Amino acid sequence: MEQYQFEVCANSVESCLAAQAGGANRVELCAGIPEGGITPSYGDIVIAREVLNNTLLHVIIRPRGGDFLYSPIEQRIMLKDISNAHRLGADGLVFGCLTAKGDIDIPFMEQLMEASQGMPVTFHRAFDVCRNPQEALEQIIELGCSRILTSGQQSTAEQGIPLLKELQQQAAGRITLLAGCGVNENNIARIAAETGIREYHFSARENVKSAMTHHNEAVSMGGTVHIEEYCHPVTTARRVRKTIEVLINKAD
């Protein structure tokens, strides 16, 4: 059987627990999922560390949504967040930064890597908006990152299969490619078969209705941006397990 690894994008401690129950190898703990994931709170990291015993805890370091060109003050925040995550017992970190021209920001990445003190680092989907993915792959390897989270520079990993396959061949075992974005029980086997990638990142979330019985639909906490506020997405052990089993059974 192929050796696969499964990472769940966990938007809460509740999702971390579900990922662990479903058999995930690790979680990427983050807040602000609609923004693509930002640094989780101090409390989230502390409690996630307390409850995870069979699943590795990786923490995203991203001070805001949007692009990956960071100001000096944002860079200071990221360095402090790395220090906190290390002190609180995270098993790994997830970050990435670019220059204004869309290249890997080598000088700042070197600072972040030094601050990580040898912890495994995943270069996240900043990779998917970089100017030259083939060149970036080589630079990220040189920086000492453990893996790259990528959808093959497309909206989903399934759409990015051609580039994912090319990058997997270019990497040649020097770094791990972690295929993510839109990966689920319906497409994970196809992505694996066509790319040769062995690590997968997915959320396996379902919407859970709020227990509140009183609703005021006239008020939105997002102001003019209206989101559903009486339900929230959470990872379920059932979907994690199902996604893993699809690929494991296919390999068998």
Give 58-71 pLDDT, tens digit per residue: 999 999 999 999 99
How many domains does the chain contain in total?
A: 1
CA distance 28 to 120: 12
- CATH code where residue 127 lies: 3.20.20.380
Poorest-confidence range of 24-33, 107-116, 178-187, 219-228?
219-228
Of 34, 33, 80, nearest to 61 (Cα)? 80
Full-model pTM:
0.93
Q: Quickly state the pLDDT bin for 225 (edges 50, 70, 90).
A: low
Give the dihedral of Cα atoms 154, 131, 133, 129; nearest 10 deg: -40
Tell me, what's the pLDDT at 31?
A: 96
pLDDT, average across residues 134-156: 98
Other Cβ atoms less than 10 A from the Cβ of 5: the count is 15
Summarize pLDDT for 152-189 with one digit per residue, the tens: 999 999 999 999 999 999 999 999 999 999 999 999 99
* Residue range of the domain that includes 152: 5-251
